[in-house]
Amino acid sequence: MPVSVTALADRVRAASPRLGGTRLVVVDGPAGSGKTTLAGRLGAALGAPVLHGDDLLAGWGDLEGWWSRLADGVLAPLAAGRPGRYRRYDWVERRFAEEHDVPLTGALVVEGCGAGRRAADAVAVLRVWVEAPPDVRLARGLERDGEDMRSEWLAWMAAEAAHFAAEGTRERADVLVDGCASMEP
């Protein structure tokens, strides 16, 4: 059954905020599964900013490290009633670049591999898992990043599989989404 973005947004609005006055939504799943697409549509339906985990990663080997930057720079300030801030990672320059503000808002959507880790459970009002077959995900990634990134993608796919197994991310998700299926408005 297709996912209704409107129904997900209604579910978020009906939840009590757990991060100060903000309702945090985390959209997780393997790379290339469709997280960014779903998060963008959900953010638009909620009138909420979308923060991309890729902007917090310090390169291909940082699957575990980006969460602390999110927690310290964005989640802790929001919980305290203050705007958050993070520095965006520039994948071309391979360094952190400009800072971005995260305003106090009724909802915030965070998407990325590792967004649904156990550390999010206490503050997220909705944990979404998006999945697609590995061959589809790899094809999407190589189309976006280029064939010369194949070894990085394969290493990342192995690292994320280990992360998801250790965290039990899919099993703890509130909603499972087929990243190859159409989404209802």
Question: What is the chain's mean pLDDT, rounded?
Answer: 96
Residue 120 has pLDDT above 70, yes or no: yes
User: Is residue 174's pLDDT more than 90?
Assistant: yes
Q: What is the largest CA-CA distance in the chain?
A: 45
Q: pTM of the predicted model, to two decimals? A: 0.96
pLDDT tens for 70-91 read 999 999 999 999 999 999 999 9
Residues 1/181, Cβ–Cβ less than 8 Å:
no
Residue 1, pLDDT > 70, answer no
Q: Is the pLDDT of residue 184 over 90?
A: no
Give the pLDDT score at 73: 98
**Structure tokens given for 85:** 């801030």
Instruction: Read off the DSSP letter of residue 33.
Output: S
Residue with more model confidence, 183 or 27: 27
